[in-house]
A and B are shown apart, each in its own frame.
Chain A
Amino acid sequence: MDPIRVITQNCVGCKLCVKSCPFEAIALTGPLVQGRTDRNTAVIDLGKCTLCGACVEACKRYNAIVITRRTFKGQDLSQYSGIAVFAEHRGGKVASVVPEIIGAARELAKQRSCTVSAVLVGKNARALTDELLSYGVDEVWMIDNTDIGDFDEDVQADLVTEILLEKKPEVFLGGGTVIGRSLLPRVAARILTGLTADCTELSIDPETQLLKQTRPAFGGNIMATILCQNHRPQMATVRHKVMTPAEKVASPQGKVVELSHIKVPKSKLQFLEFVEEKTATVNLVEADVIVSGGRGIKDPKNFDIIEKLALATGGAVGASRAAVDAGWIPYSHQVGQTGKTVKPTVYIACGISGAIQHLAGMKGSDMIIAINSDPNAPIFDVAHYGIVGDLFQVVPELIRRLETPG
């Protein structure tokens, strides 16, 4: 039996499902609607259908579309409780996404009346426990072992898996970082549970008590809310710079639970070296102000006015895909769907038209300022303030004003 079916006798050929389908998978090409000669019933193209359920929702009145899912057997979900977060760290520093995930976890824990724990594995892990406790976690589940290298991601995935299997949290969250988005899929595939990538919103469904995981797809054109009903833990990676970081607590009450009985395996990965990227300005993802240049820059040597404005604002330099593809600036500066996602306090877009892929990477910025000669450029739709004008006149003027004291 197909997982999604149209119940022909219920279908009235109203087309609501066709309109609701984000994937153009439905057409009114079935047998005639009962009692009519001018309308056909809906047919679903399984090749295009992703079983997202939008049509089922749209057809609530007639109940003509059903999705049948076999329920899983076996796992006793009642054994699982509490929320755990992956305490990513490197070079003796807790990743900046971690307080954000703990912040999100504490909000969820309030709704669910449960505890929040941090999963911490690594050499010198102990040195990081005070910081984690200060964010208000109830427990730090720790394996501190000199054999766990910062880049031994396979070993870390093994250990995290073992900890989750032993402690049985019902939710496990990690950062939507390079490491988080590599380690958590490995863990989820081993435990055989669900994982939602790069969530921008998390909440507890009041009725089912399940974790509602909302994320953008299609470059931010579509938002999807995802559930993991029958498997635990419900896992998600969380986009950096979206959640509010946990506030530090005055006197941390949490405790450290050592799990030294879990054996540390040998890594198959060999770390050779880490080369830090040295840019004239600050790290893009962490920057408070970002000045970005796009196609309107026209020439690589013109990029220096973007750099000058970045310097005047104390910010970092970003770029659109057009500027990177033209070879004007390295890929590491690219903001957008296929580059970095940023959320600075102020984002200044210079000569960027605002393709949807670019907007996907920066529209979460607190304030967006656009400078573009085309008054109809889509960037102005998302900008809080816009200047219509030639960037080669506007930007130098802005630099001059910023550099003038007072």
Chain B
Amino acid sequence: MKVFVCIKQVPDTTNVRINPETNTLVREGVQSIINPFDVYALEEGVRLKEKYGGTVTVITMGPPQASDALREAIALGADNAYLVSDRAFAGADTLATAYALACTVRKLGGADVILMGRQAIDGDTGQVGPGVAENLGISHITDIRKIEEIADSRIVVERLLEDGYARLATRLPVVLTVVKEINTPRLPSLKGKLAAKKAEIPILKASDVEADVERLGLNGSPTQVMKIFTPTRPSGGKKFTGEPAATVGALLEELTSAGISIRKSGK
């Protein structure tokens, strides 16, 4: 089984705070991490390898420092890792990113299963997975909460939907994006950490993956960011302090005078 996992290095937004005076992001001390959803994808890839044999290859497109994320992926059980990095990739939107990753998978000999997180926590788009599948001409299924089994090139999965889940089957190869319900990622092993230290991480340029430069980076991106701004922050409302009977009473009074009932029968 040839498993590929596409990861993204992102700023750890759980530590991002807003400076209330300037209304801007405070990024001091914010670390770069592997996109948390991709960690679940990686764990699932390693589990597939443990169950069915084969290799887990991790790829990421990003600046040179993204190789840190790849080393971490090796520590977590990946066999090898490639950094796809070239100035030609700069300014890529999801379409150009998906194209570059698909070129990379193809150049590295193709995959049976390509895994990634349902979205990255910085961009929050979730569009790269389906895009990679389209560029490779293979199926994709998003929001996977369980891989039930793979047998004779047929894979059975559970896909999370708003109101439940669907069990679906398809033929390999396939791109799957995963939700965090799928597993509990392991911590890096000592052996993994050693492997990560020693690992050589090849850097692939646009020409190495035989990509059409017209479809890469800014030139290959139909969308442009027109402006970026920080949303206005609400200033907070009325706060009640004191004994529960008094505070609850005051709250209900406020709601009543605002014409809102939260009582079930009152709706």
Asked if A375 and B239 sit within 8 Å, CB to CB, the answer is yes
Contact of B140 among A24, A182, A226, A363 (CB under 8 A): A182
5 A-B residue pairs with CB within 8 Å: A3-B90, A224-B225, A227-B224, A229-B222, A383-B239
When the two chains form their complex, are residues B227 and A221 in contact, meaning their CB atoms are under 8 A apart? no
B 1-31 binary contact with A (CB < 8 Å = 1; else 0): 0000000000101101110000011010000
Residues in A with CB closer than 8 Å to B245 are 397
- Distance in angstroms between the alpha carbons of A52 and B178 in the assembled complex: 28
Interface centre among B17, B95, B241 (most CB of A within 10 A): B95
- Which residue of B16, B24, B163, B258 contacts A276 across the interface (Cβ within 8 Å)? B163
Q: In the bound complex, what is the Cα–Cα distance between A381 and B237 (angstroms)?
A: 7
Q: Is A255 an interface residue (CB 8 A)?
A: no
Q: Is B194 interfacial (CB-CB < 8 Å)?
A: no
Binding site for B on A (CB under 8 A): 2-4, 19, 22, 24, 45-54, 57, 67, 69-70, 151, 154, 177-179, 181-183, 185-186, 188-190, 192-198, 212, 216-231, 268-277, 283, 285, 288-289, 311-315, 330-332, 337-338, 340, 345-346, 348, 355-357, 363, 367, 369, 375, 380-390, 393-394, 397-398, 401-402
Cβ 8 A contact of B131, one of A185, A315, A330 = A185
A338 touching B248 in the complex, CB below 8 Å, given contacts A69-B224, A189-B131, A356-B16: no
Q: A69-B224, A223-B228 are in contact. Are A186 and B163 (CB under 8 A)?
A: no
Q: In this assembly, does B217 line the interface, its C-beta being within 8 Å of a C-beta of chain A?
A: yes
Residue B247 at the chain A interface, CB threshold 8 Å: yes
Q: CA A311 – CA B121 in complex, angstroms?
A: 33
| Contact in complex: A185, B179 (CB < 8 Å) | no
Assembled-state Cα–Cα distance A312/B236 (Å): 26
Contact of B248 among A188, A225, A384, A401 (CB under 8 A): A401
Which of B16, B25, B222 lies in contact with A231, CB distance below 8 A?
B222
Interface pair B238/A313, CB less than 8 Å apart: no
| Interface of chain A, main secondary structure | mixed
Residue interface bits B184-201, CB-to-A below 8 A is 1, else 0? 000000000000000000
Interface centre among B18, B166, B180 (most CB of A within 10 A): B166
Residues in B with CB closer than 8 Å to A182 are 126, 130, 140-143
The number of inter-chain residue pairs (CB within 8 angstroms) is 306
Cβ of B126 and Cβ of A197 under 8 Å apart?
yes
Roughly how many angstroms separate A241 CA and B169 CA in the complex, as a whole number? 31
Q: B36, B169, B227, B262: which contacts A54 (Cβ < 8 A)?
A: B227
Within 8 Å CB of A193, what residues of B? 95, 222
Cα distance A190–B129 when bound, in Å?
A: 13
Q: Are A217 and B123 in contact (CB under 8 A)?
A: yes
Of B123, B181, B228, B247, the residue contacting A387 (CB under 8 A) is B247
Tell me whether chain B's interface is mostly helix, strand or loop, or mixed: mixed
B68 at interface, CB cutoff 8 A:
no
* Chain A CB within 8 A of B52 CB: no
Q: A154-B139, A268-B139, A385-B251 are in contact. Are A275 and B167 (CB under 8 A)?
A: yes
Question: In the complex, what residue of chain A is closest to B165 when comparing beta carbons?
Answer: A275
Q: Does chain A have a CB within 8 A of B51?
A: no
Q: For residue A197, which residue of chain B has the nearest CB?
A: B125
A337→B156 CA distance, assembly (Å): 28
* CB nearest neighbor in B for A70: B219
Q: Please, which residues of chain A bring their CB within 8 A of the CB of B124?
A: 197-198, 216-219, 337
B171 near A268 (CB under 8 angstroms)? yes
Decide if B98 is an interface residue (CB 8 Å cutoff): yes
Q: Decide: B225 and A226 in contact? CB cutoff 8 A.
A: yes
Q: Determine if B263 and A312 form an interchain contact, defined as CB atoms under 8 angstroms apart.
A: yes
Indicate which residue in B143, B169, B241 contacts A388 across the interface (CB closer than 8 Å): B241
B213 to A: closest C-beta gap in Å: 10
The residue that A189 contacts in the complex, of B125, B134, B251, B267, with Cβ under 8 A, is: B134
8 Å CB contact of B241 from A57, A340, A375, A397: A375
